[in-house]
Structure 1
Amino acid sequence: MATFLMVCVFGGLGAVTRFIVDTSVRRWWKNRLFPLATFMINCLAGFCAGIAAAGYVNGEVDYATRTLFVVGFLGGFSTFSTLINEVMALLRGKQFAMAGLYCLLSMVVPVLCTVAGWGVASLAY
C-alpha cells in the first residue's frame, strides 16, 4: 500500500513538473505549428528513463526507486495522450505534413533519447 501511495505522489509531482515545463516552453515558443513543449517533455522523459533503466540493470538503482521514478514521476511527466491530441489538432488544421513529421519525430526521437540516457548512465556505472 505504501508503494501505491508513493507512486501516486510521484505521479502528481511529475504532472506538476510537466505543467511547469509546458507553460514555460509555450511562453517562449511562439510557433504554434510545431508542439515543441510536449516533444521536449517526452524526449527528456525518455532520456531519464534510459538513465533509470541502466541504473537498475547495473544494480545502482533498486526496484522501489526505479518504480517511483519511472512509473510515478515519469509516468506523470510524459504524455502520449497530449501528443495524440496535438497531432489531431494539426490534422484538423489541415497541417498534414507537420502532423506526420511531428508524429514520426515523437515516436523516434524519444526512443533515441532513451538509448542516449542508457549510454550516458552506463558510462557512469
Structure 2
Amino acid sequence: MLLVCVFGGLGTMVRYIFDVSIRRWWHHAFPLATLLVNVIASFCAGMAAAGYVYHTVDQATSLMFVAGFLGGMSTFSAAVSEMVSLARNRRWWLAFSYALMSMVVPLVCAAAGWGLVAVTR
C-alpha cells in the first residue's frame, strides 16, 4: 500500500511537469496538456492490463503502476474542471469537442495499448 502511494506521488509529479511543459508553448484555449496526459496514461493502462491478463506482469507490479503511478498521473477532475470552464466562457464548441475527445480518445488508446501487448505476445 505504501508503494502505491509513493508511485501515485511520482505520477502526480510527472503530470505537473508535463502540464507545465506543454503550457509553455501551447497558448490556446483548448486544454491540450490534460488531454495528452490522460491519453498517455490510458495507453499505458491498457498495456499494463494486458500484461496482467497475459501473466507477463504480476499483480503487485500492476497495482503499483496502474493504481499508483498512472492513477496519480491521469486526472479526470482537471478534465471536468476544464470542460466546465470552457462552457462558462461560452466556448461551447471547444467544451463539447474536449468532452467528447476526453471520453473517446483515452478508450481508444487503452485498447491500442492492450492490442500492442496482445500482438507482441
Return the offset for 1:29: 0.9
Where does residue 81 of structure 1 map in the other structure? 77
1:59 partner SS: coil
Task: Give the alignment's Cα RMSD to 1 decimal.
Answer: 0.6
Instruction: Say yes or no: does 1:18 pair with 2:18.
Output: no
Where does residue 52 of structure 1 map in the other structure? 48
Distance 1:55 1:39 in 2: 24
Point out 4+ residue stretches in structure 1 off by more than 3 angstroms: none
- Choose the corresponding residue for 2:110, options 89, 110, 114: 114
One-letter amino acid matched to 1:44: I
Return the offset for 1:123: 1.8
Q: Gaps spanning 5+ residues in structure 1: where?
A: none
- Identical-pair percentage: 54
Where does residue 37 of structure 1 map in the other structure? 33
Return the offset for 1:108: 0.3
Distance 1:26 1:122 in 2: 35
Q: Gaps spanning 5+ residues in structure 2: where?
A: none
Distance 2:120 2:48 in 1: 12
1:30 partner SS: coil
Distance 1:116 1:34 in 2: 24
Where does residue 89 of structure 2 map in the other structure? 93
1:60 partner SS: coil
Distance 1:123 1:100 in 2: 34
Where does residue 8 of structure 1 map in the other structure? 5
1:76 partner SS: helix
Distance 2:9 2:83 in 1: 25
Q: Give the paired residue count.
A: 121
